[in-house]
Amino acid sequence: MYDEVSATATSMKVFCGRVNPTTGSVDWVEEDENYDYHQEIARSSYADMLHDKDRNKKYYEGICAAVRRVKERGQDAIVLDIGTGTGLLSMMAAAAGADFCYAIEVFKPMADAATRIVQANGFGEKIKVINKHSTEVTVGPDGDMEQRANILVTELFDTELIGEGALPSYEHAQHNLMQEQWEAVPHRATVYALLVESQRLWSWNKLLPLSLDSVDIRPPPEMESCPGAPSVCDVQLSQLRPSEFTKLSDVLCVFRVDFSEQVSSSAVSHPVRFRSEADGAAQVVLSWWDIDMDPEGTIVCSMKPSWAYPTVQPAPWRDHWMQCVYFLPEERQVKQGEELCLIGHQDDYCVWYSLTKPSVEAQTQVPLERPACHCGAHITWNRARFGELNDRHRIERYREAIRKVLTPSSVCLCVSDGSLLPFLAHSVGATQIYTLESSSMSQHLMEKLFQTNQLGDKIRVLQKPPDGVTAADLQDGKISALIGEPFFTTSLLPWHNLYFWYARTALSSKLDTHCAVLPLNASLYVLAVEFKDLWRIRSPCGTCEGFDVSIMDEMIKNSLNFRESQEAEPHPLWEYPCRALSDPTKVMTFDFRELVPTEEMSAEGSLNLVRSGECHGVVLWMEYQLAEDISVSTGLLRVSKENGDCHWYPNRKQGVYFFSSLLDPEPARTHISISISYSLTFTPKTGDICMRFTPLS
């Protein structure tokens, strides 16, 4: 929520200097010395993993089978559990008959929790928790492990499978901590890929050309040829409608990792030949993985999205493991029946893809270098921002509003990060246009974009804070039109973009008496919802597969009491289905035509629940009034009248305030007479919105 810039410690407290995303100031905040630990726990997916019944069931079945195979060979079952977390998998092994378990956990608060959980469940004599990285563990009479293990149990995987360093950890453990013959749970992993054309997904990766009557916006050549960011997009692909992509291949098996054999973390390429199933533009690779818990492949835990099953059925819901979206280095036109080669490149931490014609070279080629952005755009803009910049309907709304406030004589200043509004200002006739950028990289990126479109001498980029803008910067003129989306790269929660209001206040002496401000205002809306699945990430852990892990509830509750986690948290709700239980309600309006007030703003009231369901929390978002008759929403777009299903703007995150026993209010199993009371306070000095929502019967 804040960008930490420095910290100094004094005994039991830490003073952290953080850039406030709303006010833009550096705030020095006194935190508990365990602040980072609490934040790590609060933001983790422990509750989500513990509630993943499919995952837990498959792991338990696989562990039981592995212990049985070792016992059938007449050996003691000695288990090594790397990344034990709560100790759940070690307890499963002990319950399955393992003779001893070594549970490795590098994160000390979790290692301490695992020790308490193991003891609380009566496994203290069969499980030893070791608070080290697995590469630091020693074996021998005086070592951490008295003997090498013969069953390797791990859950080191992320959405990309290997992104958390699974391969180096396996490689080291198999060399140094395992016997010559070992069983592994999981036994193997298989990575799958599907080549598709999807304008929706491709718009997350490239700035697409845009025609605006007299103005065409073209991306710089280096942006078009840039391979993009090295990081994968993790997405709930079950929420991507099949109509939003065209399959150009069948589901391809790209590579397998057998964990019962020696694993290598060396870079390697995996070419897969196939014939294109349709004409189209090859743009995107959708990917997921399965893990087989046993050698026979009868116990399978799959990450494939719901539409990838043979028949329509709900996929097990997970947020700790999702699916991957990879962008090819460049778009390539393919024909139905054309023979192609998709190459999955893999090093010790990353996977990426390229597409080529089949050849002997393609099958034996050395892995390409990991893709890295060289244009600056993929470092400055995330995937949602690319999507917003390519949202033509939204751009037209802004252009329509800008037409109402700009004239050829306007002195126009845009305050937003990496915005196309200066182009829109030029397209409606403004000739003196400035744009304020928050970073040198963003400044360079926008200058290159303006130059590519022959506007380098017509739009001036200023890289400085609002209170640093001088009369000389504006050629001794006064700003007659202040415009913004608003969007800022440091913003996480919807109200963080109120930075535009603080910028407007800092610039007040540079504004003309009759300066037009766009947007006119921002309104904060709230909606009570029932989530289909997202509630699980904040649901109490209690017992899991018969093991008491309620200590995690205590840890998470303590963590959530910290300032950054006790209120709303950001989520892209297009990925997380929910139903509206109340009507959307406007609770606060921030008037950008006025200065930021010095006094607090408060709002109190109640949300009447008009639909039955279980109320898991409240969603918050901003709606901007661009002109008297033009507005844009960063949250709710519409609610289905039939069932209350919500449709969310996909290119911004919304704020979610969860109800759970950890946060005290009783979950509201609603009736139309039940309501949710709310109390919100906006503090101008900090830019924070403190909130309380309480279900009432």
Residue numbers annotated as active site: 155, 164
Alpha carbons 137 and 149: distance in angstroms, whole number: 12
Identity at 54, one-letter amino acid code: D
Interacting residues of 175 by C-beta distance below 8 A, sequence separation 6+: 262
Tokens 């969310």 — which residue?
Answer: 648
Q: Which residues pair with 525 in a beta bridge?
A: 586, 621
Do 574 and 146 contact (CB within 8 A), yes or no?
no
Alpha-carbon distances, residue 525 vs 104, 153, 372, 450 (angstroms): 46, 47, 39, 36
Alpha-carbon distances, residue 57 vs 89, 101, 632 (angstroms): 11, 19, 45
Tokens 């003691």 — which residue?
Answer: 76
Burial class (CB within 10 angstroms; exposed 0-12, middle 13-18, buried 19+) of 120? middle
Interacting residues of 133 by C-beta distance below 8 A, sequence separation 6+: 104, 106
Burial class (CB within 10 angstroms; exposed 0-12, middle 13-18, buried 19+) of 248? buried
Q: What are phi and psi of 281, to 5 degrees?
A: -100, 110
Interacting residues of 298 by C-beta distance below 8 A, sequence separation 6+: none
Alpha-carbon distances, residue 614 vs 238, 318, 539 (angstroms): 23, 20, 13
Tokens 């209001």 — which residue?
Answer: 501
Do 592 and 501 contact (CB within 8 A), yes or no?
yes
**Structure tokens belonging to residue 194:** 């599907």
Do 695 and 674 contact (CB within 8 A), yes or no?
yes
Q: What are phi and psi of 384, to 5 degrees?
A: -65, -35
Buried b (16+ CB within 10 A) or exposed e, 376-409: bbbebbbbbbbbbbbbeebbebbbebbeebbeee
DSSP secondary structure, 194-251, as one string: EEEE-HHHHTTTS---EEETTEEE---HHHHS----SSPEEE-GGGS-GGG-EE-S--
Alpha carbons 86 and 257: distance in angstroms, whole number: 26
Interacting residues of 70 by C-beta distance below 8 A, sequence separation 6+: 76, 77, 150, 151, 183
Residue 282's closest CA among 363, 201, 381, 375? 201
Coil/strand/helix, residue 395: helix
Alpha carbons 23 and 497: distance in angstroms, whole number: 9
Do 288 and 323 contact (CB within 8 A), yes or no?
yes
Do 85 and 46 contact (CB within 8 A), yes or no?
yes
**DSSP state, 691?**
E
Alpha carbons 483 and 533: distance in angstroms, whole number: 39
Alpha carbons 391 and 87: distance in angstroms, whole number: 46
